[in-house]
Amino acid sequence: MTTETYISIDTLRAQVYAAFAKSGVRPETARSVTDVIVAGERDNCKSHGIYRIEGCLRSVASGKANPTAVPVLKDSRKAIIEVDAAGGFSCPAYNTGRPTLIERAKELGMASLVIRDALHFSALWYEVEDLARTGLAVISMCPSYAFVAPAGGTTPLFGTNPFAFGYPRKGTHPYVFDFATSVAARGDMEMRRIAGEPIPEGWAIAPDGSPTTDAGEGLAGAMLPFGSHKGSAISSMIELMAGAMLGEFMSKEALDFAEGGPLPRHGALIIAFDPARFAHSSGRDPVAEGEVLINAMTDQGARLPSERRYAARKTAHTHGVLLSKTEITRLEAFAARGLGALDY
């Protein structure tokens, strides 16, 4: 007897939207948050799908997230575009700055979007893929909560600090990767804890600094950076560029401010480049040149980043999204009752 059921993407979207609308989230914000959560579930990125609804709603219920915040665009007409999220979610802030970022990057060759004072929960691939589809190359990064110890340390200092990249392609999905600078995303560890599954060795250490395969112990202790000192260095770069450089919280400050709330509040940095402008004097097509490299990867059997997401997306558009009975029950409760469905 199966405990999983396919539901249509439209049904999923309607229920996710209802969960936020019934919780007092302004319609524009509810739509943008819904788009990101549905995209995560559609692409079988479970750690950034409907699993994130509860954390978002708890942030609203606790007063850590402003459900009626209206992002404010600050455009100097130069390469740096700023959006103040005003204590709301990062998704509508991105949508507010997106048109100006695209216009400015194509005008100047490159531009950056600085998002300030935002509650962040979404996967960065959503934004870099979206921008890459407009012909831009993109990098995106942000700090998080201080859950990760630096290489050689035992005390959390860095966030999981995701980093994402997108590059345009012709006639197919953009080349996209998005990874936490910890060995694993915290959401993946949390889902293993909920499922009662162990974590692989090397993901985290227990509170006493000893290695552990227990997800609960790892969450209570410290997560570890991927690639030891290399991942640690990249994570520190993200703290500096998307935290200190912007005058926004770094991961330790975000955790202290939130007092352990479900979502981190900080800034984010997106930098967009127009490949055509950069390659102009060479007379070469930068997208075609990119295909030479990508084809050389796949010709020898390498799997491209995001291939599994794109395959899952194709399946979802044909059959719907596969959810467990527990997930459907919880989703329906949030859609019907909003904040009232939270188990305090």
**Residues forming the active site:** 47-48, 188
Cβ pair 87, 65 in contact under 8 A: yes
54, 279, 242: which is closest to 141 by C-alpha? 242
* Residue 112, H or E segment: strand 110-119
Cβ pair 118, 84 in contact under 8 A: no
- Token pair, residue 181, equals 């600078």
Q: Give the integer Cα–Cα distance in Å for 187 and 52.
A: 9
228 three-state secondary structure: coil
- Token pair, residue 339, equals 């904040």
Q: What does residue 102 show for φ and ψ, rounded to 5 degrees?
A: -65, -50
270, 245, 318, 323: which is closest to 38 by C-alpha? 323
Q: Give the integer Cα–Cα distance in Å for 249 and 256.
A: 10
Around 2, how many Cα atoms within 13 Å sit in the side-chain half-sphere? Answer: 6
32, 29, 246, 33: which is closest to 142 by C-alpha? 246
**129: CB partners within 8 A, 6+ apart:** 166, 173, 174, 176, 306
Amino acid letter, residue 73 = L
The alpha carbon torsion through 241, 185, 3, 38 (nearest 10 deg) reads 10
Interstrand relation of 72-75 and 4-7 (parallel, antiparallel or unpaired): unpaired
